[in-house]
Structure 1
């Protein structure tokens, strides 16, 4: 079973405009059209069994609608996480509602949502989410197309892991896109999951292998950041690291299966 732990989709009516705008901002051409049907076609072609759709509430008013859509799109192939905007006042009720709707986790993008990941104002939200058993995914490092300051660096994420030991935290983009040395300094060996989304083409193979080797193998998750990376090509890239069959199987699906309690 191959599980892609980090993809993005939009409702059919919104997908063309959303993907076009994001592509223009980042200067990255999409590999699929950003719809659920487009993702499923990609999954079938690449041999991916399940994908985790991560959505972001960039405005407080989007929070409930995004979570409703996330619950609606879930099926045998799609697992969808919800989102909480930091300025959404009724966040505690919404977290409980997400749990009741069968949503397994939350995605935060501190750059888009304009907060530093280790800002203590966020800690009550994190604590409640972790208490409900929810997985919390953070965009980490540089977001291509957005300027500094970067709100979720490895050093800041290490503070979250230290403050909430034993909780389910995922740092996207191998712990911090373009902050690879800081990933090794602050995150490798800690109790945090690293996903491979949109990273393996940009990090030196030797450093990627070193991070994986020195981190807990059970906490490395295959991910693509689709529609910005082709799922089949990402699988080939991971296999090209020659990590061995046991490590490949763990990263491509077994680790996510355990984390998601499938």
Structure 2
């Protein structure tokens, strides 16, 4: 039986324990307009009564706009110093050749943990050797690569899979987990059975797709896919400003996953992959 001091200590700890279970890491937040976008994101969180413990800030580089790319990257890094919840996800354009390589090295030296690449928006082919070279270097520098994977570009998932298999030392995060073509990623279940072929360097955020499939006829298949790719490899994202974090959290809650699985997706997996809050 608990004595009074022990009971009092337990009661004091309950709010902290509840907070730890409810912590949310939003890995997919676009901040197109820097601090203005960031403040609007926080305003939306407040208006929807949604908490966030940590979140990303993403921009995407434009080919040939080297000064702008560097300035936007520096802006994100500076914002992360002022807003401790923010993890900057910087960007380069792989077709900027040596300039992209140099910028990636600079970003890694500044402690940036991830970059964002978007084949459709940035207008490049995943199979371009320059993309492979950039991603290989990212792995060597300890920088994860967040790729759009909503299958807007034909062959998107297949090409991303092949890239990740070729570069086992690079950690990839495939945003949206394939969109409505998420079924493809069940192939990872089989890939793991092939000796020395696949090294679990593929991770996913389920931004947008979870909102789309929750309460739909596809929901059971989506949950099946999440488990086949591995619960430890799946993270939550809002895809702000297109969707809100509240929508993402509510969609996750609707999925037929256990409380522990949801906790991993909501917080544990991203926190483990991206590590310390500080640059």
In structure 2, which of residues 171, 174, 182 is the aligned counterpart of residue 171 of structure 1?
A: 174
- Whichever structure has more helix as a proportion of its residues is 2
In structure 2, which of residues 210, 226, 247 is the aligned counterpart of residue 200 of structure 1?
A: 210
The reply on whether 1:65 has 2:71 as its aligned counterpart is: yes
Structure 1 residue 152: deviation in Å?
6.3
The reply on whether 1:9 has 2:31 as its aligned counterpart is: yes
**Cα shift readout 1:212-254 (whole Å, capped 9, x = no counterpart):** 1112111000111011112112101101113111101100000
Specify the alignment match of 1:79 in structure 2.
Answer: 87
Specify the alignment match of 2:107 in structure 1.
Answer: 98
Specify the alignment match of 2:269 in structure 1.
Answer: 255
**TM-score between both structures, scaled by the size of structure 1:** 0.83
Alpha-carbon distance change, 202 to 224 in structure 1, aligned in 2, over 3 angstroms: same
Q: Which has the larger radius of gyration?
A: 2
The CA RMSD measured in Å over matched residues stands at 2.0
SS of the residue aligned with 2:209?
A: coil
Structure 1 residue 141: deviation in Å?
2.8
Q: Which runs of 5+ in 1 are unaligned?
A: 16-34, 144-149
Contact 1:154–1:186, Cα closer than 8 Å, also in 2:
no
Distance in 1 separating the partners of 2:149 and 2:102: 27
The reply on whether 1:52 has 2:56 as its aligned counterpart is: yes
**TM-score between both structures, scaled by the size of structure 2:** 0.78
Distance in 1 separating the partners of 2:143 and 2:243: 26
Specify the alignment match of 1:116 in structure 2.
Answer: 125
Contact 1:114–1:151, Cα closer than 8 Å, also in 2:
no
SS of the residue aligned with 1:72?
A: helix
Distance in 2 separating the partners of 1:202 and 1:60: 35
In structure 1, which of residues 200, 204, 212 is the aligned counterpart of residue 226 of structure 2?
A: 212
Specify the alignment match of 1:20 in structure 2.
Answer: none
Contact 2:233–2:269, Cα closer than 8 Å, also in 1:
yes
Extract structure 1 runs of 4+ deviating beyond 4 A.
186-190
Distance in 2 separating the partners of 1:152 and 1:170: 17
Q: Which runs of 5+ in 2 are unaligned?
A: 1-22, 193-197
Distance in 1 separating the partners of 2:187 and 2:64: 34
Distance in 2 separating the partners of 1:180 and 1:138: 15
